[in-house]
Amino acid sequence: MSSFAVLKTFIEKEMRMSQVYQPVMLTELLLHQGHRTTTEIARALLGKDPTQVEYYEQIVNNMVGKVLTKNRNITEKNGETYQLKGFDSLSPNEITTLIALLDPHSAHRGHDLERIISTEDHFFPHC
């Protein structure tokens, strides 16, 4: 039996669709040439599991968001949306620099973001 037939039969007749785990993992593999790391799959699962999203929403609101909004006055919150104060005045280069500072483990992070900014204006529509 072909790989397609094996997968199709498994998906249609054997796989439990009541949870997101197997469908998300298989979708990730299919979308990325059949290969994904454990971390990449875990991130995809995190995005699809509402209980985990709710858990991290609590962390954002009760810890991170509270510190950056009330204690440090760097962000502001309107309803469920956090906004970085002064973001509209930042240039693409300044955004690139700040992101690179936030990720010191990736030396090329800033360079990659500059390329994205110059070729994908939809990521930064205000620029």
CA distance 80 to 7: 40
pLDDT band (50, 70, 90) for residue 67: very high
Lowest mean pLDDT among 38-42, 53-57, 123-127: 123-127
Amino acid at 110: G
Place of tokens 């971390």: 39
Q: For residue 22, count other CB atoms closer than 10 A to its CB.
A: 15
- Tell if the pTM clears 0.85, that is, is over it: no
Better-predicted residue by pLDDT, 106 or 54: 54
